[in-house]
Structure 1
């Protein structure tokens, strides 16, 4: 029996169990959108439902966004089920929408970009064929 004031070393054990769960979470469970969006930066999610779009438009848009934001933007590629890409190692960190949940919830189709603000709201949705929309939005809203 432990007194309500503690002092039995339980805090250390409980914290160790919590830390262990956090360390292994990435290996055991699929990545959640919430995990990608946590933080204080804008997040750019680049969706592609075909390998051609992933290797071409997605890669070009990721490069442009990184250059314009000077490292103040996190970029992720979100690939539809079954899409494989060679990307030449230049693709941003990639997650696979294995069950199609992202596509269903955000009505994503083709090659699209989703700029998510730090407060979690969608700031811009645009077609990757027209990355000028992203540039214009960044200049207008963020002053870049």
Structure 2
């Protein structure tokens, strides 16, 4: 059941990205171009998503002690700003700004049949595996 819920959540997320046009790298790059021909549509998509998400989160999710599948809710640790977090944020931002694609839309774009998206996903997975391997060696 857990895998089915994960699949449904991922499909719903991908559908939302596709319907909103946020899988289009040109639209994302237009949003990031605040000094040029800025496209505010991504801000409206994010704002609309927050308007839908926040009431449900505060009323239904946050007060729960168990997930809908009966599992205990994992406690979220207090965030710490360390070099690993900041470095990852910088790399993510640079990659997003250069390509106009982040991991969620990249996975949704695999179905578009564009060869460069496949290369992006392979590079993304390789990076994740290399960082994970390096992290395990140091801890």
Structure-2-length-normalised TM-score = 0.22
Bigger-Rg structure (1/2)? 1
Instruction: Give the number of the structure whose residues are more often helix, by fraction.
Output: 2
Instruction: Give the number of the structure whose residues are more often strand, by fraction.
Output: 1
